[in-house]
Amino acid sequence: NAGVTQTPKFRVLKTGQSMTLLCAQDMNHEYMYWYRQDPGMGLRLIHYSVGEGTTAKGEVPDGYNVSRLKKQNFLLGLESAAPSQTSVYFCASSYGPAGGEDTQYFGPGTRLTVL
């Protein structure tokens, strides 16, 4: 099992450019999540999905869109990147809701810089 993988690992964008981050998991997990990590702020939830074809807003959804067309993939899109979106992005997945008997498994992260 590869677990949770993220593509790309690094990216530099100019303000206004768009991009898509891909998250893939091979554990047959129902739930998937996108977080951003900023110094001194821990991880903040951007969007999440409770199953194929579903998405929901998290704590900091503005400026991002997501899609879950296939159970194993969760895409995070930035339509018009801004310097405030410079961050490290983590994808995670779990069998069921975050917590409970189910543990979230994290990908290695994508480091995004917006100039």
Partner 1 sequence: AQSVAQPEDQVNVAEGNPLTVKCTYSVSGNPYLFWYVQYPNRGLQFLLKYITGDNLVKGSYGFEAEFNKSQTSFHLKKPSALVSDSALYFCAVRERGDYKLSFGAGTTVTVRA
Which residues contribute to the site for partner 1 (CB under 8 A)?
4, 31, 40-45, 48, 50, 56, 58-59, 90, 92, 97-101, 103-109
**Toward partner 1, which CB reaches closer, 5 or 17?**
5
Closest CA to 7 of 61, 54, 69, 76: 76
Write down the least CB distance from residue 94 to partner 1, Å.
9
Nearer Cβ to partner 1 (85/110): 110
DSSP for 34-87, please give it: EEEE-TTS-EEEEEEESSTT--EE-SS-TT-EEE-SSTTEEEEEESS--GGG-E
Q: Which is nearer to partner 1, 16 or 56 (CB)?
A: 56
